[in-house]
Amino acid sequence: MSEVDSADMGPWLSPDDFAFVSRKVPLVYVDVVPVRTDEHGAVVAIGMMLNATKNGIMRAFPSGRVLYHERVRDALYRHIEKDLGPMALPQMPHTVTPFTVGEYFPTPSAAWYDERHHAVSLAFIVPMQGECNPGSDSLEFTWFTPAEAATAALQCELSEAHASLLRQALAHLGHC
């Protein structure tokens, strides 16, 4: 869990001030591609949540904002625990390095679109050793083989940003 001071977890800015800042300054986010590996470290499954959104039912990866005074590693743990449950048991490497960086823009034509603000997202592939049980915001959590994840049909169930993230993760893992 994050070692962020509890005073920093709440609204460190008023809602109006936060809205102003988020319209003017890019925010830092993390995106997590959960994976299962075999005994040799090869990826055998990629996990995705099924969420109800204002755009309908969509698949997604755990993601969210890095809080003020929070290390990226702690933000990853916090979002994994929130979205996949405390028994997901992520196997975080000693050196936390994103496999890609994405940028969400508040421009509807942007591939990585977020109507709320401009955000820079550090994306990580994280092996999970435990049971993933989605949080209250998710309908279910499902593991897919890399071949299933590479299908256009499954990628159509994701937002364009997360479909792009999935394609980049598959390429990074050698599953083009």
Per-residue pLDDT of the chain (176 residues; tens, 9 = 90+): 344 444 444 556 788 888 888 888 999 999 999 999 999 999 999 999 999 888 789 999 999 999 989 999 999 999 999 999 999 999 998 889 999 999 999 998 888 988 888 999 999 999 999 999 887 778 899 999 999 999 999 999 999 999 999 999 999 999 87
Query: What does the pLDDT read at residue 134?
Result: 84
Ramachandran quadrant class, 164 (left: phi over 0; alpha: psi -120 to 50; beta: rest):
alpha
User: All domains of the chain, ordered by start, with CATH?
Assistant: 19-172 (3.90.79.10)
C-alpha to C-alpha distance for 98 and 30, rounded to whole angstroms: 9
Helix, strand, coil abundance in the chain, percent, nearest 5: 25, 30, 40
The pTM of this model reads 0.89
Number of C-beta neighbours around residue 57 at 10 A:
10
Q: Which helix (H) or strand (E) holds 33?
A: strand 27-37
C-alpha to C-alpha distance for 66 and 77, rounded to whole angstroms: 11
Query: What does the pLDDT read at residue 7?
Result: 47
Query: What does the pLDDT read at residue 12?
Result: 67
Strands, E, within 55-132: which ranges?
56-60, 63-65, 100-104, 119-127
